[in-house]
Structure 1
């Protein structure tokens, strides 16, 4: 069996994915939040980033320095954080991934701890699975009658708060 057909532990799959991607989960979270700030303000600052991610400013600084070395952002001490073209491209992907998963969870009726679920899922989903979830989201969006039937079915089979 090749790597796509053999079983691994969750950590094993994470290692395989890490070999394809130079960003850690934390780096992705920071880059996504920097991109969110970029959409709103055109830049980010360490203090706002640390507040939004509930981390110390020193931790945010260290991560931004790593992202600078990798070419995703431009940052000078005590200055603003600017995304590079590479950072914008990855930021767009990361935010879209987050939105797709959040929409999916809303469609299937997840209400409790939705942000926790999105954060845990988004770092471990393959692009193939994400594309198929996006297709399903669009299907339900374009077929509200089927979504209504699905919602009614859920209400009759599942507990209310899920």
Structure 2
């Protein structure tokens, strides 16, 4: 794994994945050690040490030499946001799309770190409409779709892809 972490200055996918790894370790083990972080992330001890130093500079963790790594309040809030976002993505794929749970977990873990704040906000709204879909929610869904399209005309290419669905199913 390439170590570009030392150049991070904001909440990038790399930073968020470290925060999530630390949060998961604390949830499972009660504590997070640099050696455990390195193991979970699949990086060297030195790389994990550098990452923790950078996370401390960003104000998301606290760490003293040879001590445990602790999330700050900011780090905890980010970790919880990522965890709930990952869960929403996973449940969307399970209960709306119909993907098996293990596959949905894999998809969610790949997607969650690459979403910007606006996309996360839109997905939260979409999820809240679809997860307990009723007749009343149909109007809400229609309004949501219109807002997202911003009255854009759907290109012919999109309709062609819809027609291609049958062909794609045969090839799989």
Sort the TM-score into its range (normalised by shorter chain). Answer: 0.5 to 0.7
Q: CA deviation at 1:73?
A: 0.5
Cα distance in 1 for partners of 2:21, 2:56 equals 15
Task: Report 1:6-25 matches (<5 A).
Answer: 22-25=10-13
- CA separation of 1:40 and 1:137: change in aligned 2, threshold 3 A: farther
Structure 2 unpaired stretches of 5+: 1-8, 135-165
Deviations along 1:62-94, one digit per CA (max 9) or x if unpaired, are: 111110011110012222101111111111111
Counterparts of residues 108-147 of structure 1 (less than 5 Å): 108-111=97-100, 113-125=103-115, 126-136=119-129, 138-139=131-132
Q: TM-score, normalised by structure 1?
A: 0.65
State how far apart, in whole Å, the 1-side matches of 2:112 and 2:129 are: 16
Q: Does structure 2 retain, via aligned residues, the 8 Å contact 1:46–1:80? A: yes
Tell me, yes or no, if the aligned pair for 2:86 and 2:108 is still in contact at 8 Å: yes
Aligned to 2:153: none
Aligned length: 126
Looking at structure 2, the residues matched to 44 and 87 of structure 1 have their Cα atoms a distance apart, in angstroms, of 13
The root-mean-square deviation of aligned C-alpha atoms, in Å, is 2.8
- The TM-score, its normalising length taken from structure 2, stands at 0.62
Could you list the runs of 4 or more consecutive aligned residues of structure 1 that deviate by over 3 angstroms after TM superposition?
111-116
**In structure 1, the residue corresponding to 2:131 is in which secondary structure?**
helix
Q: State which structure, 1 or 2, has the greater radius of gyration over its C-alpha atoms.
A: 2
Q: Unpaired segments of 5 or more residues in structure 1?
A: 1-20, 143-156
User: Following the alignment from structure 1 to structure 2, what is the Cα–Cα distance between the partners of residues 138 and 95?
Assistant: 17
Partner Cα distance (1:48, 1:134) in 2: 33
| DSSP-derived class of the 1:23 partner | coil
